[in-house]
Amino acid sequence: MSDSALYAQALPAGPIDPDAPLTLLGGMTPAAFMRDVWHRKPLLIRQAVPGIVPPVSREALLELADRDDVESRLVSYFRNRWKLEHGPFSEDNLPSRKTGKWSLLVQGVNLHNQAAADLMSQFRFAPDARLDDVMISYATDGGGVGPHFDSYDVFLLQVSGRRRWRISSQTKLDLIPDMPLKILADFTAEEEWVLEPGDMLYLPPQYAHDGVAEGECMTASIGFRAPTYRELAGHFLAWLSETVETNEGLDGRYADAGEKATSTPAKLPAGLARAVTERLQALRWNAALVSEFLGSHLSEPKASVQFNEVEEITLKQYLKLAKAHGVVLAPGTIALYDRTSFFLNGEAYEPPPTLAMWLQRLADNRQLTAKEVNACASLPDLMDTFHDWTMEGWLQLAPPSV
C-alpha cells in the first residue's frame, strides 16, 4: 500500500468567514469585496501576502512543465515575433535564463504542490463551482504574453521578482488576426503599477491588461471558471440525453396506422413531426434538474487530472484508520452540493438528510476530523462509500501525525 496515495500531505484550510477582514483583500471583508468589487472593477492590493514565499521554486516549476499530465505553455517574443508552444518541455528545450522576453506558464500547480493548494484555498470566499486553478508563470526580463483580456475573474499575485502591469477599461477588444496568441490589436493603458513580491492585482472579466517582467519573476494567477451559456447548453443537452433510457414518457415506438398512400414519397410526414414533438415534451426540465446537471458537470475534474488508486485495504482496516485520523479530499477532487444532492468528481448522489449533513461538511471543509468520522461512521453505507472513494484516490486519510 502506497502511503503517499493513502494519506494526504497536509490538512486543507476550512471555509472563510465572510465578515472577517482579510489582509489578502487589503483589509476588506470577503462580503464587502464580493459586494463592491467582484466582477465590477479592478483592485490593487499592496502586500496582500506579506513575506510571501514562492509556492514552487523555479526548478520545481520546470519539473512540472516536463510532465505529460501537466498543461504548460511557452510564450516568447523574439525578433518582433510572438511564438506559442505547448509542453511538456525539458529544461534543455527552454531558452536560457539570460535570454529575455520569454515566459513559461504552468496550469494547475495546486494539484501537484501543497503550497499552491494552500494558496488557492485562501480564495474560497468565492464558490468552489467558480474557482478554477493556480497558474504560475516564470518570466525572464521583458517576458509577458502581450496585451490581452480574460473572460473570467483573476487575481494576479506577484510571488517573486517584479512585474509591471498596465490595465485599461477599454471596450474595444479586437484581436490581432492570424496570431498564435489572443493579443489586442489596440491597447491604451489607463493605469500602471509595478508589483513587488506579495502585491496582488484583481481584474474582472474583459478588463484589458499587459504584464511585463522587470528582471526574472514569478507570478501566480488564481483563475475562475466562467463557461459560456452556449457551452453549458451543449453539455446540458448531452447530459439530458443520458436520461432518455429511464424516461417513461418516451416509451413506445412511432406508429402511423391510417397513414394515406402518397404520391410524394420524399415528403416528410406531418404526422411524424407531430408525434415526435408530443413525445419530446417529456424532456422538460426545471431548476432542480438544471442544478443536478450543474453539480455533476462542474464537479467533473479536467481531463488532465489523474487520481492515484491505492492498493487494496480491507474495510475493517480502513474504518480503524479513518476513525483514528479523519479523512481529506484529494487535491484534484471537486465536491459540490445543492439542496438535495451531493456531487463528487462528476458523480451525483441523493443522500438522506442525516448523511447529507456530513457530506456537506466534508465538501465545505474538504475534510472530516477523526472526531467527526467517529460521529458519523455508524450511518448506513457511509464508510463503505468512503472506502470506495479512497480506493479510487478521490479521498485520503488525514496525515498520521495529526
CATH number of 37-224: 2.60.120.650
How far is Cα of residue 99 from the mean position of the Cα atoms in its chain?
A: 33
Burial class (CB in 10 A: 0-12, 13-18, 19+), 192: exposed
* % of the chain at pLDDT higher than 90: 80
Closest CA to 83 of 179, 147, 209: 179
Rounded Cα–Cα distance for residues 254 and 256 (Å): 7
pLDDT band of 401, cuts 50, 70, 90? low
Whether the CA torsion 372, 377, 380, 382 is positive or negative: it is: positive
Q: Does the pLDDT value for residue 4 go beyond 70?
A: no
Rounded Cα–Cα distance for residues 308 and 291 (Å): 29
Q: Which pLDDT value is given to residue 138? A: 98
Q: Where are the domains of the chain?
A: 37-224
Q: Does the pLDDT value for residue 397 go beyond 50?
A: yes
Residue 257 in grid coordinates: 396506422
pTM for the whole structure: 0.90
CA distances for 336 relative to 13, 224, 298, 333, 342, angstroms: 16, 16, 8, 10, 6
**pLDDT tens sequence across 121-132:** 999 999 999 999
Q: Which of 3-17, 136-150, 179-193, 369-383 has the lowest mean pLDDT?
A: 3-17
Residue 150 in grid coordinates: 480574460
Average pLDDT, the chain: 93
> Which of left, alpha, beta for 308 (phi over 0: left; psi -120 to 50: alpha)?
beta
Peptide bond into 88 cis (omega under 30): yes
pLDDT band of 1, cuts 50, 70, 90? very low
pLDDT band of 9, cuts 50, 70, 90? confident
Q: Which pLDDT value is given to residue 3? A: 60
Q: Which amino acid is at 337?
A: Y
**pLDDT tens sequence across 177-227:** 999 999 999 999 999 999 999 999 999 999 999 999 999 999 999 999 999
Q: Which pLDDT value is given to residue 14? A: 84
Q: Which amino acid is at 225?
A: R
**pLDDT tens sequence across 18-60:** 999 999 999 999 999 999 999 999 999 999 999 999 999 999 9
**pLDDT tens sequence across 237-255:** 999 888 777 777 777 888 8
pLDDT band of 402, cuts 50, 70, 90? very low
Q: Which pLDDT value is given to residue 10? A: 85
